[in-house]
């Protein structure tokens, strides 16, 4: 009887939970905004002003954000769109759609913001009560994982006739979050894409031509203004490639370390090149030393920002980049106006060119904030500003050449007139010749001093570059935690040793060591203690190598690789067992208790042939390592191909 009562009670509670969940789901649906109707002829629908958003304070699932408990936290977007700035928590977006055609149709949802780090999309069908979850995408994910391999995030949506669906999109990114969404028929999307690629092709064609033209002028004139200007145009091209997503789609989608860094890195590099060009082109050091000191600050900041974005970007850098860029642009414009008023001809062209760029950027930002409508013109106005600026600055540089030529011609005319006067009077001629010789001597001395200064500057720059290259080379081959070599350097040395062993017919042995139950150390004592254990084990293993030709590297995680040149497998087994015993003897005390450390090692060694690869030798050593683990861990297992 008691068993029957419990069964009935469980059955009743289950149905109560089902009806309660259905009621909450109905309430959530009733609170959703009216759906966007899609008809047979609907080619393109902009969703910017019909989005709802929810700022995520802690990690939420689609089931949680669609539930009744969070309905009062959803907010409607204004017709001007959404701009969340930078360094914000993840944001959820949603909107409702209904297919008003008489058959199942597919539309493409385009999220036109290629700089988002992570985008997750899910679809809830209100008629069938089913969910469909799209694979996460983002600029940090390989582009091959996207449903449509496009520079923007494009997701196909298949909608049943007369069925309401709610689209949920979660965006997590550190960059400026200015989101725009559009629904397309596939044919309309491809036609629009062709139009946009045509505009972008024209843009990059003009900038590429200006880059080649001014770089060639630098080689002819050796004027550093052309060199800095060429750098500026080059980094503008890379910056816009990152901003539009074309770079990630076509150029550096296989460059893992550049994923998520390209946009801020190339933006900082373009500001750095622009600062160097402005100082040189307007001759600030000579004309306005006090303004030149202000530009020195921006030069130092953008140098630091470029290096930081390349190596280790941090939150303070993300927060200061935009304000510093705005202040720097305004200072550049004010400097151009000031020098123009003082009669500097180059400043006139610079001010006009820079004004076009700032106006284009301002209109583009207003479009992103939806203060003005999003049209092809406002969408690409910043690029138009770049083109006008680049062309005008190129004309300014060309005008400077013409001005120098006219000054030279004027000087030649004056010399001819002076020569005629000298021929009229012998005494005046001798005096003028002495004056000319004195001028020539001073000019030669000034030229020699200038050449010497530039030579010294170049030597210092080359020395600094050589030092920086050496430091970067060390950093690229070192594991930052254990100070051992990294896997990349290990693979290079192993390939070299295989070739040497094959040539000399000496044996070559490889050891792979893995710390036993290292995950338990992290779980029990924390990752800081786990990192310290890694360093101690790495140091202990290194101490067991007795020759300078032996090499140890960290594979990653808790694995280490050891190369023993000219060492047979049986001798390598002795080294491996000595290393295992040394690790077992480590007396690591934490909070009064000893943390036991053990390693398992796999050994492979033989005389390799000329066609053997490092992967073959490592695969055998890894197989031996697995044998050691399966035999109870804290063991050495070896495989000898001989």
Catalytic residues: 558
Parallel, antiparallel or unpaired: strands 178-179 and 164-172? unpaired
Please answer whether residues 356 and 389 qualify as being in contact, where contact means their C-beta atoms are separated by less than 8 angstroms. yes
Q: Which of 249, 294, 286, 311 is nearest to 114 (CA)?
A: 249
- CA separation for the pair 173, 46 (Å, rounded): 22
Q: Is 463 exposed, middle or buried (0-12, 13-18, 19+ CB in 10 A)?
A: exposed
No. of helices (H) and no. of strands (E), the chain: 18, 20
Q: At what angle do helices 381-424 and 426-476 cross, to 10 degrees?
A: 150
- CA separation for the pair 74, 52 (Å, rounded): 6
Tokens at residue 600, please?
């398992």
Element (H, E) at 25: helix 2-31
DSSP 329: H
DSSP character string of 542-593: HHT--STT-EEEEEETTEEEEEEET--HHHHHHHHHHHHHHHHT--EEETTE
Tokens at residue 593, please?
């208790």
Please answer whether residues 195 and 119 qualify as being in contact, where contact means their C-beta atoms are separated by less than 8 angstroms. no
Question: Cα torsion at 385, 389, 391, 394 (round to 10°)?
Answer: -170
Go through the chain and tell me how many residues it has: 642
Q: Which of 274, 334, 333 is nearest to 303 (CA)?
A: 274
Residue with tokens 């010399």: 415
- CA separation for the pair 276, 270 (Å, rounded): 10
Rounded to a whole number of angstroms, the CA Rg of the chain reads 34
Q: How many CA atoms lie within 13 A of 617 on its CB side?
A: 31
- CA separation for the pair 288, 310 (Å, rounded): 33
Provide long-range contacts, Cβ within 8 A and 24+ apart, for 570-575: 570/638, 570/640, 571/509, 572/509, 572/510, 572/511, 572/603, 572/605, 572/638, 573/603, 573/636, 573/638, 575/511, 575/544, 575/545
Residues in contact with 461: Cβ distance below 8 Å, sequence separation at least 6, in sequence order: none
Q: How many CA atoms lie within 13 A of 477 on its CB side?
A: 13
Residue with tokens 């769109």: 81
Please answer whether residues 542 and 484 qualify as being in contact, where contact means their C-beta atoms are separated by less than 8 angstroms. yes
Tokens at residue 76, please?
């409607």
C-alpha distances in angstroms, 475 versus 34, 100, 485, 548, 568? 56, 60, 10, 21, 32
């Amino acid at each position: 009887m008691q068993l029957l009562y419990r069964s009935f009670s469980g059955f009743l509670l289950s149905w109560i939970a089902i009806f309660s969940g259905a009621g909450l789901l109905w309430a959530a649906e009733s609170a959703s905004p009216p759906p966007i109707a899609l008809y047979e002829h609907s080619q393109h629908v902009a969703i910017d002003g019909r989005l709802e958003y929810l700022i995520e304070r802690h990690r939420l699932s689609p089931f949680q954000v669609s539930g009744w408990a969070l309905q009062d936290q959803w907010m409607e977007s204004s017709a001007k769109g959404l701009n969340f700035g930078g360094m914000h928590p993840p944001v959820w977006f949603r909107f409702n759609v209904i297919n008003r055609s008489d058959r199942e149709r597919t539309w493409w949802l385009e999220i036109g913001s290629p700089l988002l780090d992570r985008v997750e999309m899910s679809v809830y069908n209100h008629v069938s009560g089913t969910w469909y979850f799209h694979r996460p995408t983002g600029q940090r994910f390989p582009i091959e994982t996207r449903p449509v391999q496009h520079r923007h995030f494009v997701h196909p949506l298949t909608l049943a006739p007369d069925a309401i669906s709610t689209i949920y999109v979660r965006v997590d990114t550190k960059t400026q979050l200015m989101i725009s969404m559009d629904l397309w028929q596939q044919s309309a999307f491809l036609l629009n894409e062709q139009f946009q690629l045509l505009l972008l092709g024209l843009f990059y064609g003009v900038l590429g031509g200006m880059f080649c033209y001014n770089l060639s002028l630098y080689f002819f004139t050796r004027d550093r203004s052309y060199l800095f200007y060429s750098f500026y145009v080059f980094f503008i091209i890379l910056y816009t490639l990152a901003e539009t997503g074309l770079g990630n789609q076509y150029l550096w989608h296989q460059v893992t370390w550049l994923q998520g860094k390209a946009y801020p890195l190339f933006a900082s590099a373009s500001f750095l090149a622009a600062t160097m060009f402005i100082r040189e082109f307007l001759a600030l050091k000579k004309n306005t030393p006090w303004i030149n000191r202000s530009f020195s600050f921006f030069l130092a900041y953008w140098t630091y920002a470029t290096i930081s974005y390349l190596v280790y970007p941090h939150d303070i850098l993300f927060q200061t980049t935009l304000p510093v860029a705005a202040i720097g642009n305004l200072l550049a414009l004010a400097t151009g106006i000031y020098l123009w008023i003082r009669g500097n001809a180059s400043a006139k062209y610079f001010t006009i060119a820079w004004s076009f760029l700032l106006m284009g950027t301002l209109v583009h930002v207003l479009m992103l904030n939806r203060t003005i409508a999003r049209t092809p013109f406002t969408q690409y106005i910043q690029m138009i500003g770049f083109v006008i600026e680049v062309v005008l600055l190129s004309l300014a540089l060309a005008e400077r050449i013409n001005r120098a030529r006219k000054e030279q011609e004027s000087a030649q005319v004056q010399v001819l007139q002076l020569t005629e006067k000298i021929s009229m009077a012998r005494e005046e001629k001798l005096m003028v010749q002495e004056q000319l010789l004195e001028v020539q001597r001073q000019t030669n001395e000034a030229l020699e001093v200038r050449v010497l200064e530039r030579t010294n500057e170049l030597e210092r720059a080359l020395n600094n570059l050589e030092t920086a290259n050496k430091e970067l080379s060390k950093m690229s081959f070192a594991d930052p935690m254990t100070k051992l070599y990294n896997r990349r350097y290990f693979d290079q040395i192993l390939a070299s040793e295989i070739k040497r062993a094959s040539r000399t017919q000496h044996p070559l042995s490889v050891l792979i060591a893995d710390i036993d139950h290292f995950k338990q150390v992290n779980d029990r004592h924390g990752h800081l203690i786990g990192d310290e254990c890694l360093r101690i084990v790495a140091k202990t293993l290194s101490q067991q190598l007795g020759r300078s030709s032996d090499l140890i590297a960290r594979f990653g995680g808790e694995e280490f690789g050891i190369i023993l040149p000219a060492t047979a497998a049986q001798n390598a087994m002795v080294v491996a067992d000595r290393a295992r015993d040394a690790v077992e003897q480590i007396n690591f005390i934490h909070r009064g208790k000893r943390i036991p450390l053990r390693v398992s090692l796999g050994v492979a060694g033989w005389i390799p042939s000329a066609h053997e690869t490092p992967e073959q030798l490592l695969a055998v050593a890894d197989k031996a390592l697995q044998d050691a683990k399966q035999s109870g861990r804290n063991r050495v297992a070896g495989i000898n191909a001989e």
